[in-house]
Every structure is written in structure tokens, then in C-alpha cells.
Amino acid sequence: MDAALVAVARAQHEAALMAYRLRDRTLARRMATEFGFSVKTWSDHSLGKRWASRATWAAFTTIAMRTCAPPDETG
């Protein structure tokens, strides 16, 4: 298997784990609404059944930024 595909699969897996660890039951619905995909698509991508789309990667990135970013100090 191509090393690049393995790296992408690993990143998708880690992103899905990050989202799962939040234990937020409304996360899938909110991300689907915000980024314009279905909850089924979110599920398929999070479970590794399909490669994540650009929209799903945008959602994963948004979750990471909202979760890991330091608090806004601008008030």
C-alpha cells in the first residue's frame, strides 16, 4: 500500500478518535448541518468506511480548533 494513503488513513483515524473522545452526542448533527453533509456521511467517515471528504476534514479541523485552541484573550 502507498505510504501516503497509510498516512492519510492514520490521520483520518486520529481525527475520528479526537471527535469521539469529546463524548458529545450532538456533534455529528451539528457538524453535518454546519458543513453540509449527512450524519450518515459523518458516521461512514468516522468509522473508516469511506475516505473523508473535504467537508468532513473541515469539520474535523474545526472541532480540533474549537477544542484545542487557547481561550480568546481579546475579551
Q: Which three cell numbers stand for residue 73?
A: 484573550
55 alpha-carbon distance from chain centroid: 9
| Mean pLDDT value across the chain | 90
46 alpha-carbon distance from chain centroid: 7
pTM (global) more than 0.85: no
Please compute the mean of the pLDDT values over residues 26-50 and round it to a whole number. Answer: 94
Confidence grade of residue 67 (pLDDT, cut at 50, 70, 90): confident
Residue 49: strand, helix, or coil? coil
